[in-house]
């Protein structure tokens, strides 16, 4: 997530999946209660399914694109450590994916 003086941020991520496939996602993130210890958020943006067999052709195939919606929260435990929970849905070209994640965030 890129720094922003407001509660709106741009977030970029890359997830590795099975069979060397990956997901490159860019999203616009709205953080509620931006300055509190408990920060719920909502984000939306495009995702590209990275297929190593297609190399750069991955970006030319419309079926590799999805719309991603997510929501969750981040709970500040102690500066700079946070606990994070995400629920995500990705839709596009006949594919629907749902994911949840529980993790640990460290701010720089």
Question: What pLDDT digit, counting tens, does each position of 30-84 carry?
Answer: 989 878 889 999 999 999 988 888 888 888 888 889 999 999 999 999 888 999 9
pLDDT on residue 35: 80
Q: What are the extents of the domains in the chain? A: 8-106
Is residue 108 very low, low, confident or very high in pLDDT (cuts 50, 70, 90)? low
* Residues 48-58: b if buried by 16+ CB within 10 A, e if exposed: bbbeeeeeeeb
Residue 45, H or E segment: strand 38-50
pLDDT on residue 21: 82
pLDDT on residue 36: 86
């Amino acid at each position: 997530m890129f720094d922003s003086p407001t509660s709106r941020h741009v977030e970029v991520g890359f997830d590795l999946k099975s069979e060397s496939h990956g997901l490159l996602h860019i999203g616009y993130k709205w953080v509620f209660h931006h300055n509190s210890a408990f920060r719920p958020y909502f984000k939306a943006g495009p995702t590209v399914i990275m297929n190593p067999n297609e190399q750069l052709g991955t970006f030319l195939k419309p079926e590799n694109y999805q719309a991603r919606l997510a929501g969750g929260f981040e709970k500040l435990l102690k500066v700079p450590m946070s606990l994070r929970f995400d629920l995500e849905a990705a839709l596009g070209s006949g594919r629907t994916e749902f994911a949840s994640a529980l993790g640990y965030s460290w701010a720089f």
